[in-house]
Amino acid sequence: MKPCRLPSVLLLCGLSALAGAQSPAVSEKDYLDDVPVVLSVSRLPQRLDETPGAVSIIDRQMIRMSGARDVADLLRLVPGFRVTNSFESNTPQGSYHTTLSDYSNHMQVMVDGRSVYSTYLQGSTGPGLQTVALEDIERIEVYRGSNSAAYGARAFLGSINIVTRDLVDTQGVLARVARGGNGIEDQMLRLGWGDERARFRLSADGRSDNGLDGASGSSRVQRVNLRADVRAGPHDVVELRAGQSLIDAGVGFVGDDNNNARTRRIDTSFAQLDWRRNLDADQDLAFQASHTIERIRDNFIYTPDARITVDFGGQSSNSNLLLQHTVRLNPALRLVWGGELRRESVVSRPLYNTDAAFNNDFTRLFTNVEWRLHPDVLLNAGALFEDSSQSGSHVSPRVMLNWRVAEGHTLRGGFSRAFRPPSTYEKYANVRYFIGSTLVESVDVARGGMLSEKVLVREVGYLAEMPSARLSFDLRLFDEHVTGLVGREPYNLPGSGVFNTEVFDYVNDEDFRIHGHEFQLRWKPWDGSQFVYAYARVDSTQFYNSTTQVGHYGTQGLMFMQQLPAGVAFSLIHSEADAGRYPGSDAAMPAVRRTDLRLAKELRVAGRPAELALVGQNLGSPYADFRPEFRYPQRLYVQLKVEH
């Protein structure tokens, strides 16, 4: 990849501005007030310069001005992420440093602290990224690197926490509608009401389009979300959340007997209770309970023999209880610790050849200590113990040292280790097709012999926050060694079918080591403007089927935002990803280059504040979205938003 020259020029200009600025000196208080606070990295609220690792924040302004229609689209602005719409999990998804596949399952995705990965779809993050509308999101916190020390196995190579907007900021009525090319039809209605004792928000929205060129049908998402915040006493806050999403998408291919065109539906509903109590000025207690149900409808008639219905449908659920205690032991020492109980259950005769439920019970104990060894030196040390009824016990530790070498300049370094046990499907898959009582064919018949994937991460970083230059810069140098990556492998199983006896198992068939560097730059060169630039360069060595492959690839994303006079706003996003074979992927991915543009104008409609926006997505030629048969088309749409 040839890096964009503009960000380098911007960085040099920003450093020059810092060196030659004649503005008043910035005090330590000014600096500290300007550093963002993140909530989801170590389970402790921490300033960005004190977190145990690299964090990217996609804030409300970026979300609003991006023109994006889903969360995955925004991940193009995070260093090291690659995003695609072409897989069979119905939804756009993103992957950090590692495999892109039907079910990208090496990231933990949370919405307001609740895990939303798909239990049914082997831990896929795709459906979870569609839980709430962008209009209801305040910010997205992305931890780049293993975060299993805080959240367990699913945070194997990172975590994403979607933080919804405070109810105080969404009072009143909002209506939004969008129409455009490629069949774009989006709409949303939101109601917010209440007072200081209790506040409520009800949001309903729908999003649909014709999908990618080459896809077998349209894509549609329908959601409803309810939230209630109740102040139960002077020290207690109770938050209730509930919602449902329906995702319908055309999958498969016309004329493909084994994967014929059809519409797949993912129906997800959830309920969540959060209770927080301030015990005193130095400690608080948090409790969370949640329950999620996921139903999948996905079947078609096998064309050569109409007596056979190919079915991938079923149901899953998960229930979760969490208790967490946060305490400041002395001015230099903070501690968070707690425990979690979780049950995941999957039922699917088509996938497991039985009507019995497969249950996986998790017990987790976690802690993180934040110890200020010196006014400028901070140690974060944490670990999570996880026991799974299907895969046994593991401990995931992390140690990170942050050193503020000068005001606004922080160095960090440390390591972490994590494990990802195989999913229920990888361990117990048993896909067989019958005509009457005759076994015709078997596809996936897992023998359950694989071990947990492992990763060892070593990293150093540098964070610069320079308010006088309106500049921030975050650099991460990393070495990530993954062993035992799970993949499919054929083997011979006598008696497994009439047509052939070759079936597939899931095995630990690949190791890889990736190292490289990535950085994120934010710069506000003049009033009303902001540049955000993300860049990553990765070198990988993969050990696969007794062969060694060496690869190099890079990603970059640039966003420019400008507020203009008369309520006009302009933004541009350009992103690129190199061609190449990513770790854990058998196919080579094509290069991607995409440019989006948004122009918006503030209006008054019937005396109410409104905004009219014109958005162009992929202003260049349609590009291959990972698979050559799928191409991301040009899209142009108009959106009107009115608030009351």
Q: What is the pLDDT of residue 213?
A: 85
Question: Residue 642 in 3-state DSSP?
Answer: strand
Q: What is the pLDDT of residue 364?
A: 98
Q: What is the pLDDT of residue 24?
A: 42
Q: Rounded to whole angstroms, what are the CA distances from 267 to 79, 165, 204, 261, 352?
A: 32, 24, 15, 20, 20
- State the pLDDT confidence band at 1, using cuts at 50, 70 and 90: low
Q: What is the pLDDT of residue 87?
A: 56
Instruction: Tell me what the mean pLDDT of segment 567-580 comes to.
Output: 92
Inform me whether the pLDDT recorded for 6 exceeds 50: no
Could you read off the pLDDT of 214-242 as tens digits, one per residue?
788 788 999 999 999 999 889 999 999 99
Q: What is the pLDDT of residue 22?
A: 38
Q: Rounded to whole angstroms, what are the CA distances from 378 to 11, 28, 333, 402?
A: 28, 17, 10, 5
Residue 147 and residue 141 in contact, taking contact as beta carbons nearer than 8 Å? no
Question: Residue 426 in 3-state DSSP?
Answer: helix
Specify the pTM: 0.91
Could you read off the pLDDT of 550-562 as tens digits, one per residue?
788 899 999 999 9
Beta strands in 90-171 (DSSP E): 93-96, 108-111, 114-115, 137-144, 158-164
- State the pLDDT confidence band at 77, using cuts at 50, 70 and 90: very high
Q: What is the pLDDT of residue 3?
A: 47
d(CA 6, CA 301): 53
Could you read off the pLDDT of 395-448 as tens digits, one per residue?
999 999 999 999 999 999 999 999 999 999 999 999 988 888 888 888 999 999
Range with top average pLDDT, 8-12, 28-32, 538-542, 640-644:
640-644
Inform me whether the pLDDT recorded for 107 exceeds 70: yes
Inform me whether the pLDDT recorded for 96 exceeds 60: yes
- If one counts every other C-beta atom within 10 angstroms of the C-beta of residue 414, the result is 20
Tell me what the pLDDT averaged over the chain comes to: 89
The backbone torsions φ and ψ at residue 126, rounded to the nearest 5 degrees and listed phi first, read -55, -55
Inform me whether the pLDDT recorded for 91 exceeds 90: no
Looking at per-residue pLDDT, the higher value among 98 and 551 belongs to 551
d(CA 203, CA 195): 18
Inform me whether the pLDDT recorded for 18 exceeds 50: no
Instruction: Tell me what the mean pLDDT of segment 16-37 comes to.
Output: 49
Inform me whether the pLDDT recorded for 173 exceeds 90: yes
Going by C-beta distance under 8 Å and a sequence separation of 6 or more, which residues neighbour residue 360? Answer: 343, 344, 345, 388, 389, 390, 424
The backbone torsions φ and ψ at residue 197, rounded to the nearest 5 degrees and listed phi first, read -80, -35
Among 3-12, 39-48, 405-414, which is the least confidently predicted range? 3-12
Could you read off the pLDDT of 474-483 as tens digits, one per residue?
999 999 999 9
Q: What is the pLDDT of residue 192?
A: 97
Inform me whether the pLDDT recorded for 51 exceeds 70: yes
Q: What is the pLDDT of residue 607?
A: 86
Could you read off the pLDDT of 593-624 as tens digits, one per residue?
999 999 999 999 888 999 999 999 999 888 88
Inform me whether the pLDDT recorded for 4 exceeds 70: no
Could you read off the pLDDT of 455-502 as tens digits, one per residue?
999 999 999 999 999 999 999 999 999 999 888 899 999 988 887 789
Q: What is the pLDDT of residue 90?
A: 54
Q: What is the pLDDT of residue 421?
A: 93
Residue 450 and residue 474 in contact, taking contact as beta carbons nearer than 8 Å? no
Joined tokens for residue 271: 């309920």
| Bridge partners of residue 623, in order along the sequence | 632
Q: What is the pLDDT of residue 11?
A: 44
Whose CA is closest to 78, among 19, 142, 2, 147? 142
- Give me the percent of the chain exceeding a pLDDT of 90: 67
Inform me whether the pLDDT recorded for 171 exceeds 90: yes
The backbone torsions φ and ψ at residue 119, rounded to the nearest 5 degrees and listed phi first, read -65, -40
- State the pLDDT confidence band at 283, using cuts at 50, 70 and 90: very high
Q: What is the pLDDT of residue 447?
A: 94
Q: What is the pLDDT of residue 5?
A: 44
Domains and CATH numbers, the chain: 5-643 (2.40.170.20)
